[in-house]
Structure 1
Amino acid sequence: MLFGVVMAGITGSAAATAWARAHARRNGLLDAPGERRSHAVPTPRGGGIGIVLVALFASAWLGWREGGVLWWCVSAGFSLVAGAGWWDDHRPLPAWPRLLAHIAAGACLAVGLWMQGAEPATVTLAFLLVPILVNVWNFIDGIDGLAASQALLAALGLACVLTGFGQLLAVAVAAACAGFLPFNLPKARIFLGDVGSGALGFLLAALIALGSEQRMPWSWPLLLLPVAACAIDSGLTLLWRASRGEPWWRPHVQHLYQRLARRFGHPAVTILYAGWTTVAIALMLTLIRFPVSLGWMGMAVFVVLSSGAWWRLHRGFEDGREGIGR
Structure 2
Amino acid sequence: MIVEFLLFAVLAALGTWRARRYALSRALVDEPGERRSHSVATPRGGGIAIVAVVVLGCVLALFRGQAPVLPLLAFAAGMVAIALVGWLDDHRPLSARARFAVHVLASALFAAAWLAETGSWAAATVAFGAGIALTNVWNFMDGINGIAASQAACVAAAVLVVGVDGWALVALAVAAGCVGFLPFNFPGAQIFMGDVGSGALGFALAMLTAVAVSDRDSASTAMLALALSAFLIDAALTLLRRVIRGEQWWTPHTQHAYQVCARRWGHAPVTISYCAWAVLSVLIARRVGAGPPAVMGGVIAAWYISGVVLWLWLQRAGAGRLRMDPTVTKD
Would you call these one fold, judging by a TM-score over 0.5?
Answer: yes
Q: Which residue of 2 aligns with 1:152?
A: 153
Q: Which residue of 2 aligns with 1:21?
A: 20
Structure 1 position 119, deviation (Å):
2.3
Q: Which aligned pairs between 1:1-326 and structure 2 lie closer than 5 A?
A: 2-66=1-65, 68-216=69-217, 220=221, 222-318=223-319, 321=323, 323-326=328-331
- CA pair 183-233 structure 1, distance change in 2 beyond 3 A: same
Structure 1 position 226, deviation (Å):
1.3
Aligned residue identity for 1:220: T
Gaps spanning 5+ residues in structure 1: where?
Answer: none
What are the Cα deviations for residues 211-253 of structure 1, in whole angstroms up to 9, with x where unaligned? Answer: 1125136853542221110110010011122222322222110
* Superposition misfits of 4+ residues, deviation over 6 angstroms: none
For the 8 Å contact 1:114–1:123, the answer to whether it is kept is yes
Tell me, in whole angstroms, the C-alpha distance in 2 between the residues paired with 1:271 and 1:137: 17
**TM-score under structure 1 normalisation?**
0.95
Root-mean-square deviation (Å): 1.7
SS of 2:58's equivalent in the other structure is helix
Aligned residue identity for 2:217: M
Tell me, in whole angstroms, the C-alpha distance in 2 between the residues paired with 1:182 and 1:222: 27
Gaps spanning 5+ residues in structure 2: where?
Answer: none
Structure 1 position 61, deviation (Å):
2.5
For the 8 Å contact 1:158–1:226, the answer to whether it is kept is no
SS of 2:33's equivalent in the other structure is coil
Structure 1 position 163, deviation (Å):
3.5
For the 8 Å contact 1:43–1:190, the answer to whether it is kept is yes
Aligned residue identity for 1:255: H
Tell me, in whole angstroms, the C-alpha distance in 2 between the residues paired with 1:172 and 1:249: 30
**TM-score under structure 2 normalisation?**
0.94
Aligned residue identity for 1:278: V
Tell me, in whole angstroms, the C-alpha distance in 2 between the residues paired with 1:218 and 1:4: 29
| Aligned-pair identity (%) | 41
Tell me, in whole angstroms, the C-alpha distance in 1 between the residues paired with 2:202 and 2:10: 22
Deviates more, 1:208-217 or 1:234-243: 208-217
For the 8 Å contact 1:38–1:324, the answer to whether it is kept is no
